[in-house]
Amino acid sequence: MKFILLSLLLGAAVSGQAQTVSADTFATQLKQSAQAQLIDVRTPAEFADGHLPNAVNINSQRPDFSQALGQLDKSKPVFVYCMSGGRSKGAVETLRELGYTDVHELRGGYLKWASKMMPVAGVTHSTAKPEWPVARFDSLRQKQSLLMVDVYAPWCGPCKKMAPAIVKLQKEFTGSATILKVNADTEKPFLAAYQVDELPTILVFRNGKLVDRQIGYRDEAAMRALLK
């Protein structure tokens, strides 16, 4: 019985050393680890389009990927992420096989990190003046029977994927609904007023009242349903 209990405790300790954690926990652990090795295993093109600050790019598709990971310091914690979690999972398995014990994986990858508007490098943030101060927006929503707001950012991957559908719906529902795009980079008071802390976020107002909130990527059919 003691042997079984000891085995379970040891197993829990080992599994605890290779953690898959939320973006908030990942950020906290990273900040607390002075010797952290932050590894982005996406392609160089993906890395160039935006990455976590101070990350090093080791492309999981390169033929010597395992050898490249093996050059990291085993005495220091390793933090790893990819776009959404698939490639980082494989990287974690490789790191374990190589003998790394203090490994942290970002659940949801770069998309989740960026969607929560956490710090990113390699992107250009909008610096334009706000178009929608809260008072102006509130005046608009009170006049509309149906208003859908797409809160986005130019550097947000899911937002860019949704953009063509938003444009299509704007044309399709002309006269029956107003579809407004609000840039999270420039509209901080709006984000605070409507408690938006992830991108993309869709807000639906009917007769001035907020009736629906959708967070994350939505395809054209899902957004159209919100307007019916």
Position 17 scores a pLDDT of 57
How many alpha carbons fall within 13 Å on the CB side of residue 157? Answer: 17
For residue 159, indicate whether it is catalytic. Answer: yes
**Structure confidence at residue 124 (pLDDT):** 87
In the DSSP assignment, the letter for residue 129 is P
Choosing from 156, 179, 199, 204, which is the catalytic residue?
Answer: 156
pLDDT at 151: 97
Q: What is the pLDDT of residue 6?
A: 40
User: Is there a contact between 131 and 187 (Cβ–Cβ < 8 Å)?
Assistant: yes
Strand partners, 151: 182, 201
Q: How high is the pLDDT of residue 199?
A: 95
> What is residue 125's predicted lDDT score, i.e. its pLDDT?
85
Cα 19 vs. chain centroid, distance in angstroms? 18
* Predicted TM-score (pTM) of this structure: 0.78
pLDDT at 157: 85
Question: What pLDDT shows up at residue 131?
Answer: 95
- Kindly list the averaged pLDDT for each block of 10 residues, start to end, along the chain of length 228: 41 56 97 96 95 97 97 97 95 97 96 92 88 96 98 91 97 97 95 95 98 96 96
Catalytic residue among 78, 103, 153, 159: 159
- Three-state secondary structure call for residue 70: coil
CA distance 131 to 113: 26
